[in-house]
Structure 1
Amino acid sequence: MIQIHLSMVIWNFGNSYSLIVRGNLGDKKTFITVSKTLKLFECRGLESKEGEKMVGSEQKIVMTYKFEKPYISSDSTKDTENYLLLELRPKTGVVNEKIAVKGVDFCIVLDVSGSMKEPFEGNVTKVKAAVEAAKHLYGFLTPDDTVSVVLYDSAPYVVLERAKPTKEEFEKALEKAYIYGGSTNISQALRKAREILSKNTGNLKKIVFLTDGIPTDDTEQDGLREGRLIAEEKISITALGIGNDFNYKFIEELVKPSRGTTDWLKSPSEALKIFQRTFQRTKSTVITNVTLELDFSNKVRVGEYYRVVPETTYYGKPEFKWNRKVELELDNIEYNRYYQYLFQITIPPLKTKFEGPFRVAKMTLTYFVPSENKAYKMEEDLIVEFTTDEDLVTSRYSTVTDLVCRCQLNKLDTKLNEAIKVNDKKAIVGILQEISARAYELNDYELADHYEKMRDELLKKGVISNEMLIKASNHTTKVNGEGLIDEVEDITKVFKDVFGS
C-alpha cells in the first residue's frame, strides 16, 4: 500500500510555491519525493473526511472544523493537548459579488509629517507616492459610498468629510498633503476619523491609515487605545506602513481589535497596488457582524488562539465572558475569501471510561447579510471521539499541525520585538535561533535565512536594522496566505502535472 503525504512549501519572499509529494512504498523504509513548482492552491479533500464536520445547509456561510487530534484515548489518565481549526467561507452559488455591500463610508488617514517629504524611490517622496496611490481609488467609489480624508502631523486636518466628491474635488483634497510637515500625533488623527465615521449611515465603515514612523507628540499606547475605541464602533482599520522607519508590530496591534489587516509599502508601485486592493476588498464584503460563541464543556480549557487567514495574527488567550463561554468578534466576510481561526484546546481525561463522541464545545455563530437586511444564526457541537483503537489515537490532521507551526512564527516574532524593546540580547538571540529552526522545519528556507541574517547583524553590530524587522514581521503575517478562494487549484490537474498522465 502506498501512503502519500502532501505538504505545501510557501516562499513568500520569492513568490514561488512548491508541492512536495512524499510516498511510503509499504516497507516503511523506502520513500519517494517529488517536487513541483506551481501556483498556490489549497490542498483540500486529501485527508480522511472522518473527524471533519461541515455545517451550513440553509446558511450563507459554510463552517468546517477539524481537531488536530480527532481521536482521544479512552485509557488516557492525562490531559490531551489539542488544536481546533475553524474555517468559514461564503456558500458557493449563493454568495457572490451581486450581494456585496452597496455603500461604504471610507476615511483615508494620511501621515503628512516632515519625514514624509523624504525620498522614497528615485525623485518620488513618500508623501507623493501616498497621494498618487490614493488618487487612483476614486475609480472604485460608487454613488452609495462616501469618502473622508484626514491629513495629520502634530494635529489632524479634515480636508474632506463624508463627501461624494467629483474626481477634481477628491484630488485637490489629497494634494493639500503637500503643505504640511510637522511632527506626528497618531491618536488625534485616529480619534478624528472615529468621530467622522461614528454617524450611523447604514454603510460599512473603513479607515485606511498610513504612517511612515512612530508617534512623537503622543505615544503608541494612545494610538492603541483609539484602535480599541474604533473597534467598538464597528469600524475596521487597514494600517499601512511606508518606508523603513515605522514600527510594524505597532500597526499589527492597532488593527487587532477591529480584525483589520496590515501591509508594508516598499515602493510607489507597491503603494498603488495595496491601496487598490484595500478598497476592492472592502467593496467585496457580503457578510458583517460575525460573532463566534464557544461554550466549552466542563474542565475543557482554551489557551491561545490565532487568526490564520486572511492575515496571521496572534491574539493570546481569550477571556471567558461568563460561565464556560468565550465570545469573539470575527472578520467581515468577502465573497471570494475564506477565513480560518485556530484555538489551543486542553481536553481532560475521562472519569468513567467509554468509547464514543465527546462534545468539546457548543459553537454558536451569528452574522448579518446587509443585502438582505437579515441576521442569521448557526449552532453546532464540536466533537472529538474517545476510542481504545491505538491506530486512531495516533492519527493527526497534518494540515492543522502545519498551520500551528506557521502561526507560532507570528507569536515568536511578537516576543522577539518585545525582547528588542527591553534590549534583552540573550532572549533576542534565543528567539532568532528558534524561529530559524522552525522555519527550516517548515521548509521555509528564505524566512529561516532572513532570521539568521538578523542574528548575524545583531552579533556584529549590536543592533538589528528596522528594515529587517519590518520585513520579518510582514512575512509572519502573510505566512499562511490571504485566503483567496480563486487560489484553489484542481488537485487532479496538479497530480497530472507532477506525475504525468
Structure 2
Amino acid sequence: MSGDVDLTCSLNRAYIPPNKGQRLFLDIEIAPITKAIPGFLPVNVCLLIDRSGSMVGKKLNNAKKGAINLVNQLDSNDYCGVVTFESEVDIVVPCQYVTDKPMFENRIQRISVGGSTEMYEGLETAFAELRRSLQINSSGKEPVRRVILLSDGQPTDGRYVSEYRGLARKMREVGISITALGIGKYYNENILSALAEDSGGMWYHVLSPDKIPEIFSNELANMKTVVLSRPELVLKLSQGVELADIYKSRPDVHRISNIQRISNEYRIPVSDVRTGEIQTITARIGVPPRPEGEWRIAHVSVVSGAVCRRENVIAHYTSNQALWNETDSYSRTLFAVTETQIKAKDGLSGDKTAFKQAETQLKVLLKESEATHIKDIADRTAVLEKIINKATVMSEEEKKEAKSELTMIKR
C-alpha cells in the first residue's frame, strides 16, 4: 500500500445508567494520515459513454473531448479502456497500458450517436475489461480501479435498480468503484446513485454539457490522490448490541446497504481513501442493560491489504447521575441531519411518507443549537430548509439537482 489511514470513533454518551438498555449514536471517521507521503497508485480506468440518440451534439462532443483530455493526462503505467453503449455495446479501445495516446484519440473521435440505452450490458462489458487488469498488474501496488459512466437517458434494458446494485457490489469486490455522471432531465438518478453508493463511488448531476471535460479531469485528479484503495470497514458488535441504522455522512450522503453480515460482524466496503478527505460513517445502535463498569460495545477496524487500523468503542455504565449528560452531541446531531437528508432525497423521488418525515425531522433540527453554531450541521440544515420549502414547485431536473445537493457535502 502506498499510504496510511487513521480511524477515530466517538459516542454521543460515554457514561450511561446501569441495568438499563440505551440508544447511542456512533460516529466513525476514516482519514489519511497527513504525515504520510503518498506515492501515486497506478490508475485502472474504463470510460463508459452513452452514445444513444439523445446524446447528439454538445453532450457527445464534450464527452469525447473529456475522454481525450483524460487519456492525455495518464501515464504509461496507467491502464485505460473506452466502452460505449446504445442499442449495442462497443469496445472502442480495449483496456491496455496507455502507451499510444494518438490511437486512443483517433478511436474516441470516431464515436457517433446510435439508438437506445443498454446501460447494464455496457457496465458488464466495462467490468470485464477492467477485470483483465487484475491478472496483468505487476507493479506490486493495489491500483485505483474506476469506471467513469456518463449517461443522459433512461436505460432501455428493463433491469431493476436491485440488479444494478448487485452488479455494483460484484465490481466493488474486486476493488472497482463507479463514478456515475448524469446529464439533463431524463436520466435515471436512482440507478446512477445506486451504482455509486454500492461500489464506493460518487454520483454527479451535470448541469451543462460544457462541464463534462472539467468533471472528467477532476475525477482523474481525485484518483491520483488515492493513498489507500479498496478499504473495508469492519464493525464487530459485542453480544446484545444491535445496529439499528447506518449511513454514510461525508463526503457523500446515503443509506449504507452494501453490507456483509456474519453473526455480529458487519463488513462494509468504503470509498478509496485519498489525501485531504475524511470519510464519516454515522450509526444508531442499541446497547443492552449491564451492571456498573466499563464495557466494550464494539470493535471497529479499517482493513486494506496489509494495512489495518483498530479501535475499541467503550461505554461506561455508572450510577453517578452527574455523568449521564451527553458528552458529544455532534454525533447525535450529525446522524439526525444525515437521516433527514436521506429521507428528503427519498421524498423527492416520490416517497410521500419519507418527505413528511423529513419535514418533521427538520423542525426538530432547527431547534438544536448545532443547527446554527456548528458550520457543518448549519450548512446542511440550510440546504434542507431551502429544498423542502421549494419541493412542491420543482421541475424534474430541479429535483435531480436538489438530490445531488443533498448528496454531495461541500468541502
- Give the TM-score, by structure 1 length: 0.72
| Counterpart pick for 2:336 among 405, 425, 433 | 405
Aligned to 1:363: 300
Pairing 1:62–2:6 present:
yes
Answer whether contact 1:304 1:343 (CA < 8 A) is retained. yes
| Counterpart pick for 1:107 among 40, 46, 53 | 46
| Counterpart pick for 1:206 among 146, 154, 157 | 146
Pairing 1:465–2:385 present:
no
Answer whether contact 1:289 1:367 (CA < 8 A) is retained. yes
Aligned to 1:54: none
Q: Deviation at 1:362?
A: 1.9
Alignment partner of 2:283: what SS? strand
Deviations 1:3-60 (A, max 9, x none): xxxxxxxxxxxxxxxxxxxxxxxxxxxxxxxxxxxxxxxxxxxxxxxxxxxxxxxx92
Q: Deviation at 1:273?
A: 2.6
Q: For the structure 1 residues 267 and 337, does the alpha-carbon distance in structure 2 shift closer, same or farther, using more than 3 Å as the test?
A: same
Aligned to 2:281: 341
Q: Deviation at 1:316?
A: 4.9
Answer whether contact 2:348 2:355 (CA < 8 A) is retained. no
Separation in 2 of the partners of 1:347 and 1:429?
29
Aligned to 1:478: 408
Separation in 2 of the partners of 1:88 and 1:100?
19
Structure with the bigger RCO (C-alpha within 8 Å, sep 6+) is 2
Separation in 2 of the partners of 1:349 and 1:143?
59
| Counterpart pick for 1:168 among 84, 94, 102 | 102
Aligned to 2:22: 80
Separation in 2 of the partners of 1:158 and 1:328?
32
Separation in 2 of the partners of 1:80 and 1:247?
40
1:228-267 superposed matches below 5 A: 228-267=169-208
Deviations 1:151-178 (A, max 9, x none): 111111111112325443222222223x
Answer whether contact 2:120 2:157 (CA < 8 A) is retained. no
Identity of matched residues, %: 22
Pairing 1:385–2:316 present:
yes
Aligned to 2:66: 133
Aligned to 1:218: 158
Larger Rg: 1
Separation in 2 of the partners of 1:106 and 1:92?
26
Answer whether contact 2:152 2:187 (CA < 8 A) is retained. yes
Structure 1 letter corresponding to 2:317:
F
Aligned to 2:140: none
Alignment partner of 1:469: what SS? helix
Q: For the structure 1 residues 100 and 402, does the alpha-carbon distance in structure 2 shift closer, same or farther, using more than 3 Å as the test?
A: farther
Deviations 1:415-464 (A, max 9, x none): 325645xxxxx537625634764675545334423222222x2xxxxxx5
Structure 2 letter corresponding to 1:176:
R
Answer whether contact 2:340 2:362 (CA < 8 A) is retained. no
Deviations 1:370-428 (A, max 9, x none): xxxxx1233332112222333321124132233212211332034325645xxxxx537
Aligned to 1:21: none
Aligned to 1:449: 386
Structure 2 letter corresponding to 1:246:
Y
Answer whether contact 1:286 1:333 (CA < 8 A) is retained. yes
Structure 2 letter corresponding to 1:206:
R
Structure 2 letter corresponding to 1:378:
R
Superposed CA RMSD: 2.4
Aligned to 1:494: none
Answer whether contact 1:304 1:316 (CA < 8 A) is retained. no
Q: How many residue pairs align between the two structures? A: 389
Alignment partner of 1:180: what SS? coil
Deviations 1:254-304 (A, max 9, x none): 122221111111124432332112111112111123222222111111111
Structure 1 letter corresponding to 2:23:
E
Answer whether contact 2:55 2:113 (CA < 8 A) is retained. no
Alignment partner of 2:244: what SS? strand
Separation in 2 of the partners of 1:305 and 1:207?
26
Q: Deviation at 1:317?
A: 9.1
1:25-104 superposed matches below 5 A: 60-74=4-18, 77=20, 79-93=21-35, 95-97=36-38, 99-101=39-41, 103-104=42-43
Answer whether contact 1:69 1:396 (CA < 8 A) is retained. yes
Separation in 2 of the partners of 1:236 and 1:406?
26
Alignment partner of 2:153: what SS? coil
Structure 2 letter corresponding to 1:382:
V
Q: For the structure 1 residues 198 and 317, does the alpha-carbon distance in structure 2 shift closer, same or farther, using more than 3 Å as the test?
A: closer
Structure 1 letter corresponding to 2:294:
P
